[in-house]
Amino acid sequence: MAATTEYAIECRKITKRFGSVVANDQIDLNVRYGEILALLGENGSGKTTLMNMLSGIYHPDSGSISIGGQEVTISSPADAMRLGIGMIHQHFKLVDVFSAMDNIVLGSQEKRLSPKVLRERVLGICQSVGLEIDPDKKIYDMSVSEKQTVEILKVLYRSARILILDEPTAVLTPQETEKLFAILRRMREQGCAIIIITHKLQEVLELSDRVTILWKGRSIDTVVTAESDQRKLTELMVGRPVSLQINRPEPENVSTVMRIESLFVNKPDGAPALGGISAEVRTGEILGVAGVAGSGQKELCEAIAGLVPVQSGQILFNGENIVGKTPAQIIDLGIHMGFVPEDRLGMGLVASMGMVDNMLLKSYRTSKGVCIDRKPARALAESLVKKLEIVTPGVDTPVRLMSGGNVQKVLLGREIESNPSVLVTAYPVRGLDINSSYVVYDLLNEQKKRGVAVVFVGEDLDVLLELSDRILVLCHGRITGVVDARTATKEQIGLLMTGADSQEVAS
């Protein structure tokens, strides 16, 4: 069958709405076989939505998709697979209790084969692109990069020729990222079409042949990577020229307010999450926390906030040990702690309640009597709306109906209004657009200037390096180093994230 076009995928005028939100607005995109296309755009620009339509998860409201020159309708992931499209989602789509092998063959239409034949087939694919895997290992025993390998194998096993990767490097160390890129380059040589979603400019420049930039749901430009640079791409991505610079005021009146001493914390299933860490948290400075996802960041934050049981160790707040105390008891000691958890709507806020009731969450106990007093909460909610320019139909509208940026403003605003002396924030800009992210950075800096000890758990090393004063690096529940953010480099932190000792890194 003669191809009428050289393109592997050609999308024309794709539009997709979610309720009243237009996620994709008349998007055009194309990619050739033997090419890597980077899809660049900030959070909420519609990258994932577009790719989900190619992989059959969503269905476009209008527009057309052609695969190899033939116009097609992709109404399910099975359709996408039959068309040779394989997608590796940001949140892996694996069945935890199955082995790697079972996950790889899952859902394929072929006849049942003997385990021996299957194994040979999988190992053959591994060899051809340079992957390594133990086919019998269960997913729940695997590291993040192993899981990603299984995802890639799943796609290759179905001999997909078009590969879509949604932010594949977000959970990888710089070294693992390099390995992945090598595999992708090999696949390109073998004639695959690859689309990679990312918002890390460095990776775009390093890997891709062309870049398509999305902005607020529209495809605004496609450029050849070799003819572009970081500044140009950034301008296209945010829609206006911006300075990459994040403001970093000099710390003042620095003194240690909280001291963590050989802290051990276990996960609910009994596996160790924190293996004896010690650190200092100081007033008037921002302490960045870096690490591959799941290195113990969550447990560290929750241990400080008094939410998880601590096996051993101490958290001394101005000399007072708060380990073993409940959040209520910590408040009773006169310690004001602000905590912006990673899961905003599942932990920091009550999704179905309005702003007023959410303001009460940590303070409802302080009023007298059996009844709840909503008056001060309403006043607080209204003042926050004005101060932080929160967009909401009303202070009683359930917060789940608000946009991600506004939800974060509600949560951060409430925590700041409680006048904390320590403010712990876990991934506070995740999922936020650039403007909202800068609002968050400004709020954190403001707190730092007021003398608050700010802890900032982040994932983007560039942001960590520009915002923090010191960066604490976690790996497998241990601290592998604490570096000065003004002098440290990304490579240095990357090595610490993989578990290299700080002395080795320095030398």
Partner 1 sequence: MDLFIKFLVAAVGAGTPLLFGTVGEIISEKVGHLNLGVEGMMSIGACAGFMVGYFTDSFLLALVASFVAAALSALIYAFLTVTLMANQNVTGLTLTIFGIGLSNFIGVYMLERSPNGTLKLPERITASMRSIHIPVLSDLPVVGELLFSYTPFVYLGVAVALLMGFYLFRTRTGLNVQAIGENPASADAAGIEVSRWKYINIVLGGGICGIGGAYCSMIINGGVWISDNVGGLGWISVALVIFAAWKPQMAILGSFVFGALRILKYYMPKSVIDLPVAFYDMLPFLITALVLILSSVHESRGVNIPANLGNNYFREER
Partner 2 sequence: MSTQTGYMSREPLLRVVKRAEKPTRQIMLLRAEALVFALIAGGVFILLIGYNPFEIYGTILSGAFRSKMAVQATVKVMIPLLISSLGVTLAFKMKFWNIGAEGQIIAGAICASYFALYHSSWNHVLLVTVMFLAGIIGGGLWGLIPALFRVKWGTNETLFTLMLNYIALHVVNFLRDGPWKDPGSQGFPKIARFDKNAALDKLLGVQIGWVVALALAALILFYLRSTKHGYEISVVGESSDTARYAGMNVKKIVLRTMFLSGAVCGIAGMVQATGSDITLTNAVAGGVGFTAIIVAWLSRLNPVTIVIVSFLFSVLEKGSSVVQSSFGLSTDCADVLQAVILFFVLGCEFFIRYGFVVRKKGGAA
Binding site residues, partner 2, CB under 8 A: 1, 3, 18-20, 59, 67-70, 72-75, 79, 82-84, 161, 305-307, 326-328, 331, 339, 341, 343, 346-353, 357, 360-362, 364-365, 370-372, 401
Q: How far is Cα 191 from Cα 67, in angstroms, rounded to an integer?
A: 15
- Sole binder of partner 1 in the list 22, 57, 345, 361 (CB under 8 A): 57
Q: Applying CB under 8 A, does 450 fall inside the site for partner 1? A: no
Burial 30-65 (b: 16+ CB within 10 A, else e): bbbbbbbbbbbbbbbbbbbbbbbbbbbbbebeebeb
- According to DSSP, the β-strands at 453-457 and 286-290 are parallel
Choose from partner 1, partner 2, none: what does 372 bind? Cβ within 5-8 Å by kind. Answer: partner 2
Contacts of 124 (CB under 8 A, 6+ apart): none
- Sole binder of partner 1 in the list 4, 107, 190, 435 (CB under 8 A): 107
Q: Applying CB under 8 A, does 112 fall inside the site for partner 1? A: yes
- Sole binder of partner 1 in the list 76, 247, 278, 383 (CB under 8 A): 76
Choose from partner 1, partner 2, none: what does 264 bind? Cβ within 5-8 Å by kind. Answer: none
CB of 18 to partner 1, least distance (A): 7
Q: Residues in contact with partner 1, total (CB under 8 A)?
A: 28
Q: Applying CB under 8 A, does 309 fall inside the site for partner 1? A: no
Choose from partner 1, partner 2, none: what does 84 bind? Cβ within 5-8 Å by kind. Answer: partner 2
Q: Applying CB under 8 A, does 122 fall inside the site for partner 1? A: no
Looking from the CA of 99 toward its CB, the CA atoms found within 13 Å total 12
CB of 83 to partner 1, least distance (A): 11
Q: Applying CB under 8 A, does 480 fall inside the site for partner 1? A: no
Q: Applying CB under 8 A, does 115 fall inside the site for partner 1? A: no
CA 456 and chain centroid, separation: 14
Choose from partner 2, partner 1, none: what does 191 bind? Cβ within 5-8 Å by kind. Answer: none
- CB of 197 within 8 A of CB of 48? yes
Which residue carries 């009994």 as its tokens?
270
Q: How far is Cα 166 from Cα 219, in angstroms, rounded to an integer?
A: 17
Q: Which of residues 83-102 bind partner 1 (CB under 8 A)?
A: 87, 89, 92-98, 102
Nearer to partner 1, 122 or 257 (CB): 122
Nearer to partner 2, 85 or 443 (CB): 85
Phi and psi at 7, nearest 5°, equal: -80, 140
Contacts of 307 (CB under 8 A, 6+ apart): 327
- Sole binder of partner 1 in the list 269, 319, 368, 503 (CB under 8 A): 269
Which residue carries 């060899």 as its tokens?
127
Choose from partner 1, partner 2, none: what does 94 bind? Cβ within 5-8 Å by kind. Answer: partner 1
Choose from partner 2, partner 1, none: what does 352 bind? Cβ within 5-8 Å by kind. Answer: partner 2
Q: Applying CB under 8 A, does 77 fall inside the site for partner 1? A: yes
Q: How far is Cα 32 from Cα 6, in angstroms, rounded to an integer?
A: 6
Nearer to partner 2, 341 or 458 (CB): 341
CB of 323 to partner 2, least distance (A): 16
Q: Applying CB under 8 A, does 116 fall inside the site for partner 1? A: no
Q: Which helix (H) or strand (E) holds 15?
A: strand 7-18
Q: 10 Å Cβ neighbour count for 1? A: 6
CB of 325 to partner 2, least distance (A): 10
Nearer to partner 1, 61 or 396 (CB): 61
Closest CA to 276 of 501, 500, 426, 479: 479
Q: Applying CB under 8 A, does 51 fall inside the site for partner 1? A: no
Q: How far is Cα 310 from Cα 96, in angstroms, rounded to an integer?
A: 27
Choose from partner 1, partner 2, none: what does 96 bind? Cβ within 5-8 Å by kind. Answer: partner 1
- Sole binder of partner 1 in the list 58, 317, 441, 456 (CB under 8 A): 58
- Sole binder of partner 1 in the list 64, 108, 312, 419 (CB under 8 A): 108
Written as one letter, the residue type at 114 is: S
CA 359 to each of CA 110, 293, 389: distance values in angstroms, whole numbers, following the listed order: 55, 30, 16
Phi and psi at 475, nearest 5°, equal: -145, 125
- Sole binder of partner 1 in the list 55, 234, 447, 492 (CB under 8 A): 55
Instruction: Assign 3-class secondary structure to 419-474.
Output: CCCEEEEECCCCCCCHHHHHHHHHHHHHHHHCCCEEEEECCCHHHHHHHCCEEEEE
Nearer to partner 1, 18 or 364 (CB): 18
Q: How far is Cα 276 from Cα 274, in angstroms, rounded to an integer?
A: 6
CB of 28 to partner 1, least distance (A): 23
Q: How far is Cα 463 from Cα 248, in angstroms, rounded to an integer?
A: 11
CB of 410 to partner 2, least distance (A): 13
Q: Applying CB under 8 A, does 154 fall inside the site for partner 1? A: yes
Phi and psi at 361, nearest 5°, equal: -50, -45
Task: Indicate the angle between helix axes 375-387 and 404-417, nearest 10 degrees.
Answer: 120
Nearer to partner 2, 251 or 398 (CB): 398
Nearer to partner 2, 58 or 215 (CB): 58
Helix/strand/coil for 392? coil
- CB of 226 within 8 A of CB of 208? no
CB of 450 to partner 1, least distance (A): 37
- CB of 400 within 8 A of CB of 352? yes
Residues counted in the chain = 507
Residues that bind partner 1 (CB under 8 A): 18, 55, 57-58, 76-78, 81, 87, 89, 92-98, 102-103, 105-109, 112, 154, 269-270
